[in-house]
């Protein structure tokens, strides 16, 4: 997954809980130009479910999510126009 896209920014929200996980993700996306890619590092079932869904609902493209062996995940989001 990560090899296909080169993220312009990385956000670590592994220690955050909802709803702050998407609030921080949205702020990071706001700083990017349309078409740029954000790598989000997250942990927990709720953020893995909610962050990609909410990003897609707001017009961003979820490029993929890679699960880590320790319960973490790496999520790539391309900012929509």
Each residue's pLDDT tens digit in the chain (81 positions)? 545 789 999 999 999 988 889 999 999 999 999 999 999 999 999 999 999 999 999 999 999 999 998 889 999 999 998
At 56 the pLDDT is: 97
> Hey, where are the domains in the chain?
9-78
At 5 the pLDDT is: 85
Query: Using CA atoms, how far apart are residues 20 and 59, in angstroms rounded to an integer?
Result: 19
| 9-78 to CATH, choices 3.40.309.10, 3.30.930.10, 3.40.50.10860, 3.30.110.40 | 3.30.110.40
Q: DSSP H helical segments within the chain, as ranges?
A: 20-30, 45-57
> Residue holding tokens 């078409």?
35
The residue annotated as part of the active site, out of 9, 18, 32, 61, is 18
Our answer to whether residue 18 is catalytic in this structure is: yes
At 1 the pLDDT is: 52
Query: Using CA atoms, how far apart are residues 52 and 1, in angstroms rounded to an integer?
Result: 15
33: how many CB neighbours lie within 10 A of its CB? Answer: 8
At 19 the pLDDT is: 85
Q: Are 59 and 68 in contact (CB under 8 A)?
A: no
């Amino acid at each position: 997954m990560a090899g296909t896209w080169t993220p312009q920014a990385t956000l670590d929200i592994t220690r955050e809980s909802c709803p702050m996980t998407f609030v921080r993700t949205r702020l990071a996306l706001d700083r990017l130009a349309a078409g740029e890619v954000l790598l989000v590092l997250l942990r927990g079932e709720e953020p893995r479910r909610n962050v990609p869904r909410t990003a897609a609902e707001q017009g961003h493209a979820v490029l993929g999510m890679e699960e880590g062996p320790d319960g973490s995940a790496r999520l790539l989001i391309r900012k929509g126009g």
